[in-house]
Structure 1
Amino acid sequence: MNLENYFISQFKSEHIGDDGALIKQNVYSKDAFFENVHFKHEWMSYYQIASKAMMINISDAVAMNAKPKYALLSVSMPPRITKKQMKELASGFKDVADKYGIDIIGGDTISNVKLDITITIVSQTKKPLLRSNIKKGYLIAFTGELGRSKKDLKKLMNLGKIHKKSKFIDIKLRDKFLSNAERFLSSGMDISDGLFSDLDKLSSVNRVGFKFNTKILKSIGCSGEEYEMLVAFDKRHKKAVLRRAKQSRTPLNIFAKSVRKRYVNCCKANHF
């Protein structure tokens, strides 16, 4: 058990274990976006930093087939920040919030040596998509293309430049696909720690392993911050799910099925 999982295990709650905490029809989710951990100023504008911080938090709501309603922002800012930069940050938060119909209802601001952001999203759902409910023989698929985020991060770390539409900066969520296919999906989560690492989470919850029908390179399977969807469904629903993916113009890659065997994650932990 890595240190992150060990720490989480100290809190015994039936609501911990999905992309957000489901309480009745409400979903509560929260993620951090910290300078020198998740980003550097040289890589992104203040507008892009705020936009991505919002998007990675909305991703948790979308992953649970929930509609985000409210946001609470906590922003720690260094004394060197200018009013112009503050306006850029605020515009990034507001533009993404407006796009998804979210009301920013409060939060906290403090002085700090660097720019750190945490956001709480409150969402609502009538048909939540959880990480559980995978049975033997279910098909496992991911949306979109994986691997690009890790490649672009490597470029940035080597002082290179990436396109402003790079997935590392400009995240595209799969909310239309999920809402269209909700009747047929049994399980889902967003791919934030990498495909192989997130499969490990599904494996633990459902006590299943996976038989791959296509080879996935480690460089792709270990690429984090993709924010694509990882979903499972009964093979009887394959045509229906593929049809709805096509309708929402969502590439869907069926790459494995669930089996009764142990799953081993080959990726290095992203956190501790």
Structure 2
Amino acid sequence: MNLEDYFISRFNNVSIGDDGACIENFVYSKDAFFENVHFKTEWMSYYQIAKKAMFVNISDAIAMNAKPMYALLAVAMPKTITKHQMSELVRGFEDIAKKYSVEIIGGDTIANTKLDITVTIISKTNKPLYRKGVRKNDVFAYTGELGKSKKDLTKLLRGGKINEKSKFIDIKLRDKFISQNMRFLNAGMDISDGLFTDLDKMMHVNNIGIKFYKNIDKKIGCSGEEYEMLISFDKRHKKAMIRRSKLSRTKLTIFAKVKRVKNIFKCKANHF
């Protein structure tokens, strides 16, 4: 058990363990986005930083098939920040909030030695998608392409530059795909810590193992901050899901099935 999982396990509450806490059809989720942990200011503009902070938090709502409604922002800013940089942060927050019809209703600001952001998203769902719910005849799939975010992060860490359309900066969320296919889905979560790491979480909560249809390279399986969706559904729905993914132009990779075996994945933690 890694340190993050150990810390979370110390809290004994049934609402903890998914991308958000679902209480009476409301979903509450919060993620931190800290300078020198998740990003460096030389990598991204203040506008891009604010956008990504919103994206990664809205992703949690979408992962639970919830419609994001309200956001609370906590922004710790260095005393050297300029008014222009503050305006860029505001513009980034507001542009993504507007895109997803989210109302920013408050929060807090403090002085700090660096730029740290936390966002709380309040969303609503009539049918939540949990990590627990995998059944014995299920197959596993993920949306989109994996691996590019880790590749671009490595490039940045080595002093290189990446395209502003890179997934590391400009995230594409799968809200319509999830909402339109909920009747087929048994379990799901967003891929934020890497396919292997997040798959391990889903296997643990469902007390299952899996059998891969083919080997997945570590460059793909250990790539974090992808914000694609990891889902499970009954194998009888494979053709329907493939057809519907093509109609929505969402790449879908079906890569494994449930099997009573023990799986061990080894990926370096992204942020701990």
Distance (Å, rounded) in 1 between the aligned partners of 2:169 and 2:220:
18
Displacement of 1:245: 1.3
Deviation by residue 1:201-254 (Cα, 9 ceiling, x = unmatched): 011000111100022101110000000000000011112222221222100000
Q: Which deviates more, 40-49 or 212-221?
A: 212-221
Alignment partner, residue 236 of structure 1: 236
Give the residue type in structure 2 aligned to 1:256: A
Distance (Å, rounded) in 1 between the aligned partners of 2:116 and 2:136:
42
Do structure 1's residue 93 and structure 2's residue 93 form an aligned pair? yes
Distance (Å, rounded) in 2 between the aligned partners of 1:154 and 1:2:
22
Percent sequence identity is: 68
Structure 2: gaps (5+ residues): none
Do structure 1's residue 210 and structure 2's residue 199 form an aligned pair? no
Check conservation: 2:37, 2:271, Cα contact below 8 A. no
Check conservation: 2:27, 2:125, Cα contact below 8 A. yes
Q: Report SS of the residue matched to 1:173.
A: coil
Do structure 1's residue 162 and structure 2's residue 162 form an aligned pair? yes
Q: Report SS of the residue matched to 1:165.
A: coil
Distance (Å, rounded) in 2 between the aligned partners of 1:11 and 1:25:
22
Check conservation: 1:33, 1:116, Cα contact below 8 A. yes
Alignment partner, residue 21 of structure 1: 21
Do structure 1's residue 188 and structure 2's residue 178 form an aligned pair? no
Distance (Å, rounded) in 1 between the aligned partners of 2:81 and 2:63:
34
Check conservation: 1:196, 1:221, Cα contact below 8 A. yes
Distance (Å, rounded) in 2 between the aligned partners of 1:22 and 1:36:
31
Give the residue type in structure 1 aligned to 2:195: L
Do structure 1's residue 69 and structure 2's residue 92 form an aligned pair? no
Check conservation: 2:47, 2:88, Cα contact below 8 A. yes
Distance (Å, rounded) in 1 between the aligned partners of 2:208 and 2:267:
18
Give the residue type in structure 1 aligned to 2:218: K
Distance (Å, rounded) in 2 between the aligned partners of 1:121 and 1:102:
9
Q: Report SS of the residue matched to 2:69.
A: strand
Distance (Å, rounded) in 1 between the aligned partners of 2:40 and 2:3:
25
Deviation by residue 1:131-160 (Cα, 9 ceiling, x = unmatched): 011122311000000000000001101111
Distance (Å, rounded) in 1 between the aligned partners of 2:183 and 2:29:
23
Q: How does 1:1-272 map to 2 (within 5 A)?
A: 1-272=1-272
Distance (Å, rounded) in 2 between the aligned partners of 1:271 and 1:53:
15
TM-score computed with the length of structure 1 as normaliser: 0.98
Give structure 1 regions of 4+ aligned residues with deviation exceeding 4 angstroms. Answer: none
Distance (Å, rounded) in 2 between the aligned partners of 1:225 and 1:214:
23
Give the residue type in structure 2 aligned to 1:158: R
Q: Report SS of the residue matched to 1:6.
A: helix
Give the residue type in structure 2 aligned to 1:45: S
Distance (Å, rounded) in 1 between the aligned partners of 2:218 and 2:16:
29
Displacement of 1:170: 0.2
Q: Report SS of the residue matched to 1:190.
A: strand
Check conservation: 2:71, 2:102, Cα contact below 8 A. yes
Distance (Å, rounded) in 2 between the aligned partners of 1:53 and 1:269:
20
Check conservation: 2:141, 2:255, Cα contact below 8 A. yes
Give the residue type in structure 2 aligned to 1:111: A
Displacement of 1:271: 4.0
Give the residue type in structure 2 aligned to 1:69: M
Deviation by residue 1:176-196 (Cα, 9 ceiling, x = unmatched): 110110100100000000000
Deviation by residue 1:17-66 (Cα, 9 ceiling, x = unmatched): 10000001100000000000000011000000000000000000000010
TM-score computed with the length of structure 2 as normaliser: 0.98
**Aligned Cα root-mean-square deviation (Å):** 0.8
Check conservation: 1:208, 1:263, Cα contact below 8 A. no
